[in-house]
Amino acid sequence: MASSSTFNPHPPPPKPSSTHFPKTPPLLAHTLQTPPKTLTHQDPKLIITGGATLSGHVPISGSKNSALPILAATLCCSGQTKLKNVPNLFDTRSMLSILESLGAEVEVFGGEVVVSTDGVRSVEPCEGEIGKIRGGFLVIGPLLGRFGEAVVGLPGGCDIGARPVDLHIRGLRALGASVDCRDGKVIAHASNGKGLVGGRFRLDYPSVGATETLMMAACMADGMTVLSNVAQEPEVIDLAHFLMDTGACVEGAGTDKLLIKGRRKLHDSEYSIIPDRIEAGTFMLAAAITRSCITMSPIVPSHLSCLINKLVTAGCKISQCTPDALEFSAVPAKSRDGLHGFDVRTSPFPGFPTDLQPQTMALLTTCQGLSVVEESVFENRMNHVTEMQKFGPRIQVRGSTALVFGKDSGRLYGSRVAASDLRGGVSLVLAGLAAQGTTEVNGIAHIDRGYENFEMKLRLLGADVKRLTIPP
């Protein structure tokens, strides 16, 4: 085992509030409330009066699913790393707390984050923070790669199905790590007592998290690593670009095979996070379900080509204003015109994203005809259907497949519903926007985990949405 004489196996107490994001950019500073860290009876809720037409421009925040692994990857780097376009979210704040618990110094200036890891003196992050978010487990890769050992608690996150870490563990073993699981923790060290070594590993499934963990670990392993059947998501490519910006040698990002030549040391960097494709897709679906026309930027259209193709087939019109801006319209040309339903099967990129499945189902309840939604990524990603049915649509679930009978089965009516996960919760908000009457969405701390200033952006587009906090 690598020497632990320079490390404190127990994390130091968190530093003072230097990592706290400002509550919001100046434009929205008068209304944002910081989301709670735990879900309690005091969680805020959204009150939505449906029927409003949306218009105007919505700014798209940086990608949560890029920011989390890139923040973890700063542990690979010496010196100070400056990240731009980091979204102010519960999950990103939790990841910053995880880095601080290891001894990193973190400063936040608006949407910019500066991380210095030269003071890291622990390889065991705060177990409480790790348990809050799924992405916290990603630090195991850079810790093993740079320091030769890591002790990381099992991750938290949304309850949308089994997301085991076995692929992470088996891949790390292929890079020369000895890995054990006990007492709710993954305990790993380099078997040779020095550091990881290059190896070959084929993922049984193109897991985004496992691909990111192994990529970070391999960047500092001795020798060449070949990873096959890897994830090809834009967020994986973004992580690879960040690592290459720090001196790593990574080839094949965006394909199903990565070739990584390990480096002994990676340097500091300044890097900007890509726009959040899931947020952009959610606002497209918000415009579609309200039959509205909006513009949005920044956006990378190729990251959403599967959703865009489906929405165009349904009858929406999408035009590119600038290289990073789109106009999206679902306004019917005639009063009798409507959007047509379509079928969806989720799959890894470039397939239809599972993170947009619940929101798409909300839209399909307002479209003409029968639509079939098949979930092939997470087995519990139909949990939102029970709540969505309270709006009145006819939806039948058979295992991982849902039959959505569309507007022919009746219109949506406002209801009192509760979010049980991030994307499912947002789908209920979209349904509320289209429903007749008032909707109350509880449990929105789930939504705060992945959408920056969500209801503020909806209000800027003309939606009648307000946040209420239940008094203690």
Task: Give the residue numbers marked as catalytic.
Answer: 158
Reply yes or no: is the peptide bond before residue 350 cis, omega within 30 of 0: yes
Report d(CA 42, CA 158) in Å as an integer.
19
Q: Of 231, 202, 252, whose CA–CA distance to 377 is shortest?
A: 231
- CB of 359 within 8 A of CB of 426? yes
What is the helix, strand, coil percentage profile of the chain, to 5?
35, 25, 40
Q: What is the 3-state secondary structure (H, E, C) of 334-397?
A: CCCCCCECCCEEECCCCCECHHHHHHHHHHHCCCECCEEEECCCCCCCCCCHHHHHHHCCCEEE
DSSP state at residue 136: G
Report d(CA 126, CA 122) in Å as an integer.
10
Residue whose entry in the numeric block shows the structure tokens 């030769």: 148
Strand partners, 327: 295, 319
Amino acid occupying residue 3: S
Around Cβ 193, how many Cβ atoms within 10 Å? 11
Q: Of 257, 206, 204, whose CA–CA distance to 231 is shortest?
A: 206
What radius of gyration, in Å, describes the C-alpha atoms of the chain?
22
Report d(CA 329, CA 78) in Å as an integer.
47
Strand partners, 401: 374, 398
